[in-house]
Amino acid sequence: MKEAHIDGTDFMGENLRDKLAFCGENARLYPLCKMIHPGNAVLEDNCQLFDFVFIDAGEKLRIGKYSTLTWNVLIEGGAKTDIGHRVFLGPGTKVLTSTYEFDGYYSIEHLPGDAGKIRYGDVIIEDDAYIGANCTILPGTIIREGAFVGANSLVKGELEPWTVYVGSPCKKIRLREKPTSERTKIVNAMNWESHVHEE
């Protein structure tokens, strides 16, 4: 008996690997992760996409080395998303690169003419950032190196490096201690050179 094809499975799990712009060594694509526009996506070495991650690679997507997107993470909106090395996105976190204009427009995209309008904004999450569970990151946000965002936070604007933020909207509560020199030596001994052409 011939196995039935289910639409959309072409863009799931291991089926994504040869459709990506670049897929690094040991990148882990769990069976139920899904991506649209995979030709715009760069996944670097040892990154992980857990089950039920859904990604619209939009205009351009990069996920750095050793970064992890856990269960039910969503990246969408159609603009650019850049995620650095060693970044953690907790379960249920949403990275949005577009929102609807709502003043003077209808907040739906497939109306005829210019009845609705979308506002785009790239999202940058730098190396060593940690994003807790169920956070929402709004278009145009920049999360600087080592910033820590607590669970259920709403993130907008630019977060300072090595700083802890919590709340909705999130607010700075204290500095984050950097990894010890011994731990930094372990990480620095690894190869962090990019394997893809940077534009």
CATH number of the 9-188 domain: 2.160.10.10
% the chain with pLDDT above 90 = 81
* pLDDT tens string 124-143: 999 999 999 999 999 999 99
Across residues 187-193, what is the average pLDDT? 87
* Average pLDDT of every residue of the chain: 92
pLDDT at 67 over 70: yes
- How much is the pTM? 0.92
pLDDT band, residue 7 (cuts 50/70/90): low
Beta-bridged to residue 23, according to DSSP, are 43
| Alpha carbon of residue 70 to chain centroid | 10
pLDDT score recorded for residue 76: 95
pLDDT band at 44, cuts 50/70/90?
very high
- Cα 27 from Cα 66, distance rounded (Å): 8
pLDDT of residue 113: 87
CA distance linking residue 185 with residue 33, whole number of Å: 33
Instruction: Let me know: does 107 contact 65? Beta carbons within 8 Å.
Output: no
Instruction: Give the Cα-Cα-Cα angle 103, 108, 113 (nearest 5 degrees).
Output: 85
Tell me, what's the pLDDT at 1? 52
Which residues does residue 165 pair with via DSSP β-bridges, in sequence order? 149, 172
Q: How confident is the model at residue 8 (pLDDT cuts 50, 70, 90)?
A: low
CA 51/CA 12 separation, integer angstroms:
10
pLDDT above 60: residue 198:
no
pLDDT digits (tens, 9 = 90+) for 78-133: 999 999 999 999 999 999 999 998 899 998 878 888 898 899 999 999 999 999 99
CB–CB of 84/125 below 8 Å? yes
- Mean of pLDDT values over 152-179: 97
